[in-house]
Structure 1
Amino acid sequence: MSENAIAMERTRPNIDLTDHAVTLVIVCLVGLVMNTVGPAIPLADGFVGMVVIYLITMVGLLLTRFAPFYLPSVAWISLVGILATLPWTPGSEWIVAQAKSVNFLALATPALAYAGFAIAKKEIEVAKHSGWKLALVACLVFLGTYAGSVLVAELILRLQGV
């Protein structure tokens, strides 16, 4: 094995595909419930769309694990999704139609809720140590983001003559 190949294998994370597959099934089931309850998309439509997204994700994870060169899994999954939906890819119209039956917010809400729960002990210690300074910076960031959004919206509305 060359030095580059050895170095690449050291940096490539060891992905447990079985663990990821089971976790993704659970995530898809939660997303399917959210997709049916929230935007009221029929269960059968959402199920097929969720299976398509699951398969795209698993192919991307397989490439992350076994491709001759390393890219992060998010890059492989994105590439597989892009290639599967290009107009000249056979069956892309069907894949796009099925994926349209999955509401993005229905998938994002549980993921963001989990991310909120997954705050590590280190982040809590940093927040305790920073105290009021962190709260002040957060408030200023929120205020700046809001003010920037208002300015952009106002500018666009004025340009349109509304």
Structure 2
Amino acid sequence: MSDSAIAMERTRPNIDLADHAVTLIIVCLVGLVMNTVGPAIPLADGFVGMVVIYLITMVGLLLTRFAPFYLPSVAWISLVGIVATLPWTPGSEWIVAQAKSVNFLALATPALAYAGFAIAKKEIEVAKHSGWKLALVACLVFLGTYAGSVLVAELILRLQGA
């Protein structure tokens, strides 16, 4: 094995597949509730779609753990999802149909809520030391993002003649 291959193996994270499987089941259950309540997709349809997404994710995690070369799990999961939905892959039409019954915006809501809660101690220390400067920059970023969105929306509406 070459030195670069050994170095790459050292950087490969040790993924606990059982822990990830349980965590993903919890995430899928929360997502299923959000998928049923928000966009009012029937529970049975959303359940099958969520199982398909769960299986794609688990196959990607298995590849992350056992593939002969390392790629981050997000890359493996994306590749599995892409290959599973390619037109010439057997069963791809069924997989796409099941995935269509999952509203991905409904899945994003709990993920973003968790991200908001998952502020590390380091970020809090940075905010304490930055003080008013950080608040000013945040307000300017929010204002700029809002103004940019308004300008783009206005431009599109004018181009459409609305």
Q: Shorter chain as normaliser: what TM range?
A: over 0.9
**1:72 and 1:26 mapped to 2: Cα distance?**
22
Question: What whole-Å deviation, never above 9, does each CA across 1:105-134 have from its counterpart, x for those lacking one?
Answer: 221111111111111111111111111111
Moved more, 7-16 or 152-161: 152-161
> How far is 1:91 from its partner?
0.8
Pairwise CA RMSD: 1.0
Normalised TM-score (structure 2)? 0.96
Question: What whole-Å deviation, never above 9, does each CA across 1:13-43 have from its counterpart, x for those lacking one?
Answer: 1111111001001111111111111111111
How many residues of Structure 1 are paired with residues of Structure 2 in the alignment?
162
> How far is 1:155 from its partner?
1.6
> How far is 1:5 from its partner?
2.2
Unaligned runs of 5+ in 1: none
In the other structure, the counterpart of 2:129 is 129
> How far is 1:2 from its partner?
2.7
Normalised TM-score (structure 1)? 0.96
Question: What whole-Å deviation, never above 9, does each CA across 1:85-113 have from its counterpart, x for those lacking one?
Answer: 11111111110110111111221111111
Q: How does 1:134-153 map to 2 (within 5 A)?
A: 134-153=134-153
In the other structure, the counterpart of 1:73 is 73
**1:140 and 1:131 mapped to 2: Cα distance?**
15
> How far is 1:47 from its partner?
0.6
Report the secondary structure of 2:27's partner residue.
helix
**1:74 and 1:5 mapped to 2: Cα distance?**
21
> How far is 1:160 from its partner?
2.1
**1:152 and 1:5 mapped to 2: Cα distance?**
47
> Where in structure 1 do 4 or more consecutive aligned residues deviate above 3 Å?
none
**1:145 and 1:15 mapped to 2: Cα distance?**
37
